[in-house]
């Protein structure tokens, strides 16, 4: 995949994986997120390698992250979205979601999904909505995929 980058004043959003601050991402996901608590570094790295990733940078410092699991043709799943606490409330999350939805390889998809516990309002303004036919979807879920140890 080609590198995609957008800039808004001093905020840069890029898909260049070489820019990612993996220790920052791992610390946030494993210690601060409700969805990936305890994720092993190797698991996170494998997820990054097999996803379209978006880093958010201000003055060269990473302040946000998201990744999209996709076939770049019909389906995408938005995951691991976060903005560091010091940057919240400044529209950075909105700029990140806008950049993701503008990515050339994510156009014309039949379905773009995500899961959230607390950011429904953010995603709704971009067209995301609750599943219409919940009974059509199934999952296999491990309630404790990253046991301590």
Strands (E), the chain: 5-8, 11-14, 52-58, 61-70, 75-83, 111-114
pLDDT (average), residues 110-120: 96
Check pLDDT > 90 for residue 2.
no
Q: What whole-number percentage of the chain has pLDDT above 70?
A: 99
In the prediction, which pLDDT does 7 show? 92
CA 137, distance to chain mean position in Å, is: 21
Check pLDDT > 60 for residue 149.
no
Check pLDDT > 80 for residue 29.
yes
Domains and CATH numbers, the chain: 5-136 (3.40.630.30)
- The continuous run of DSSP H or E covering 99 comes out as helix 92-102
What is the average pLDDT value for the chain, to the nearest integer?
Answer: 95
pTM comes to 0.94
């Amino acid at each position: 995949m080609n590198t995609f980058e957008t800039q808004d004043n001093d905020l840069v959003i890029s898909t260049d994986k070489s820019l990612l601050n993996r220790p920052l991402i791992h610390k946030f996901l494993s210690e601060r997120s409700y969805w990936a608590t305890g994720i092993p570094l190797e698991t996170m790295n494998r997820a990054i390698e097999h996803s379209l990733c978006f880093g958010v940078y201000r003055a060269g410092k990473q302040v946000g992250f998201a990744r999209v699991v996709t076939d770049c043709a019909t389906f995408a799943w938005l995951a691991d979205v976060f903005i560091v606490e010091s940057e919240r409330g400044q529209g950075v999350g909105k700029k990140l979601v806008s950049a993701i939805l503008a990515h050339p390889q994510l156009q014309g998809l039949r379905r773009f999904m995500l899961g959230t516990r607390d950011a429904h309002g953010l995603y709704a303004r971009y067209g995301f909505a609750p599943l219409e036919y919940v009974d059509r979807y199934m999952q296999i879920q491990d309630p404790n995929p990253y046991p301590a140890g």
